[in-house]
Amino acid sequence: MLIRNETAADIPAIGRLITDAMRLLPQATGTEAGIVEKLRAEGALALSLVAEDGGQVVGHLAASAARIGAQDGWGLIGPLAVSPPRHRQGIGSALMAEALRRLRTTCRGAALVGDPAYYGRFGFRAFPGLHIPGCPPEVVQALPFDGTEPCGELTHHPAFGLDQQA
């Protein structure tokens, strides 16, 4: 398996993959592929990594710039998607490891909204002062690279508001 940057030829497969993977999650909004498209169109993808195996895109991870409180310089990871038949094969973990390796060179930390049981193994955790209005606090997580405790609202790119425009 190869983890690499997306290419233009990958874009249709990425959209299908995200849609298929997110259908399995009860918290999915159905707008996740559109979020990535909007981030891409606005030049807001800090990372768009694909996992390729046998010439097929089997996983994708997007990251974009975010702010926590008054602190810029955070990388927001999401969505992370793996082809459903390829779950539990280490693809998501490989994408996350590469994303964190790259983000450590440019960001003060990484943040995301997701399952604490899954993302906790990468070092993500909820912090008492970290929040997104209307989001359960336990799913709003961060991994500071410099040990600084994040405090404040996690502010993401406007593309994530697509579900409010429907």
* 48 CB neighbour count, 10 Å cutoff: 20
What does the pLDDT look like over 70-87, one tens digit per residue?
999 999 998 999 999 888
Complete DSSP assignment for 49-105: EEEEETTEEEEEEEEEEEEETTEEEEEEEEEEEE-GGGTTSSHHHHHHHHHHHHHTT
Q: What is the pLDDT of residue 162?
A: 45
Q: Which domains does the chain have, with CATH numbers?
A: 2-165 (3.40.630.30)
Predicted TM-score (pTM) of the model is 0.90
What does the pLDDT look like over 25-56, one tens digit per residue?
656 566 788 889 999 999 999 999 999 999 99
| pLDDT of 164 over the 80 cut | no
What does the pLDDT look like over 128-148, one tens digit per residue?
999 999 889 999 999 999 988
| pLDDT of 3 over the 90 cut | yes
